Chains A and B, each alone.
Chain A
């Protein structure tokens, strides 16, 4: 084959791969939406599940998902932002930062089922929290911590050095410089990280099912067990309880993830635009 023909063939294959990938994404989203939307209604979103979820709605699982996500963010956000500030503003590359980075990278690679096992043995059993929002939230917090650290670190690194210099020249202490010059400028990036972390918490099943439980009741306190939407979807599908309700729950899950992604990518776009203007 001539060079030109080889290139045309190769580029054809690459185009095909890209289109195919988009098509698969469209198929997954489309299928769940098409089969799920007809059984979606306000009653489904606000109703209580009956017969293990065969009838009724999914309100308690929506509450469970949101509460569990918020609890995990409440714990992971200060830890993650603090960690990122320390790594970027308070220290230079050293053995210590390498160790901390190793910890973050490794934690990011730990599979969710391992988090589930750990949360079960440590929070649920050893610390006697039982299957609860607290145990599930703590487990999820550790899981999303690397996401928040990384995105915050990247956001802080995009803040121009001149901001820091100006702040120092006005007599600011390091902490004043961080809070008045660095953090406000890095805020969209940090929020993006938090939103993506919430998305991970919403999608998670393996780490949640062994730590927060599968109870279908509305939680009364952080010590109550909950069932998230993803866990509910899994149980409906695997135990063959109701395919119709599974599709409907799946549609709610997809819409939630879509909203989260749209917010996150619009924030990123704004961030990029801001950088270009500089």
Chain B
């Protein structure tokens, strides 16, 4: 009897995450969807004017969608090659003593609060960009560079797992055929680990798309659609983060509606990532 009730309690706790996800979906949607319905989905997504407190108000989030896409793409340009290189380094090249240093270092990189990164972008990188490349400094480029580093740990961890998971026989086969170390890496390891690496990139993309406070600090928060990476912009997240502090009524509904759009984007990315890696949570380390 006692055993059965324990098993039942455990089953209930197991549903915790799923219930949380359900609640989040329901409450975000019920707070945001009515406004999208009123404005019209196309007007909301493709409208280029955001002026929620004007009379009549304008609820177009195109500038934020463009800003988010620019920023996410830019951070991948920085984060993917660097992350992949570090992952290869840790599996293939790092001497033992350095590998021992790298692992906690990458973990620390992931552990540093995002507001600290934003602050570095704001106080250190933005002035450098303003002085060397022009523009206001607080810009898509500044945000993308810093975000590129912020998504590194995600890309490294998952790519590293994927590369390590390549069976030793596959590697030995390539060596036996006379391949150099580099040929083994590019010809055998990376292609075999491809799906895991892509999953890592997609999850990194999700992180970049979802980051908020650091982005607010770095991107200049201009509602104009950026046409160059040196210009300021606004993203889906940064606009929510900035305006939630004072929004009310329809304005607040519009921010929740923006949240709905962001949520849908993220869920699509998550679904994509899980199709590339069946179970990213329980990785090879558990075997």
Contacts and interface: CB of A to CB of B under 8 A. Distances in A.
Interface of A: 3-4, 6-7, 10-11, 13-15, 17-18, 20-22, 24-25, 28-29, 31-32, 78-83, 85-87, 90, 99-118, 120-122, 126, 142, 145-146, 149-150, 153-154, 157-158, 173-175, 196, 199, 202-206, 209-210, 230, 233-234, 237-238, 243, 246, 250, 253-254, 257-258, 260-262, 264-265
Contacts of B126: none
A3 B13 contact: no
Contact of B28 (A109, A114, A154): A114
25 contacts: A3-B182, A7-B180, A11-B181, A14-B88, A15-B93, A17-B81, A17-B86, A18-B89, A24-B149, A83-B17, A86-B14, A100-B14, A101-B279, A104-B18, A111-B237, A114-B266, A121-B28, A146-B17, A146-B281, A157-B282, A199-B111, A233-B113, A234-B118, A250-B116, A257-B108
Q: Among A14, A146, A250, which residue has the most Cβ atoms of chain B within 10 A? A: A14
B269 A83 contact: no
Interface of B: 2-3, 6-7, 9-21, 23-24, 27-28, 31, 81-82, 85-86, 88-90, 93-94, 98, 101-109, 111-120, 122-124, 149, 152, 180-183, 203, 206-207, 209-213, 216-217, 237, 240-241, 244, 255-256, 259, 262-263, 266-267, 269-270, 273-274, 279-283, 285-287
A265 B23 CA distance: 34
A121 B31 contact: yes
B239 to A, nearest CB: 10
A99 B105 CA distance: 34
Q: Is the interface of B mostly helix, strand, loop or mixed?
A: helix
B262 to A, nearest CB: 7
Nearest to A253: B113
A14 B17 contact: no
B23 A122 contact: yes
A26 B276 CA distance: 33
Nearest to B103: A265
Contact of A233 (B86, B103, B119, B216): B119
A115 B181 contact: no
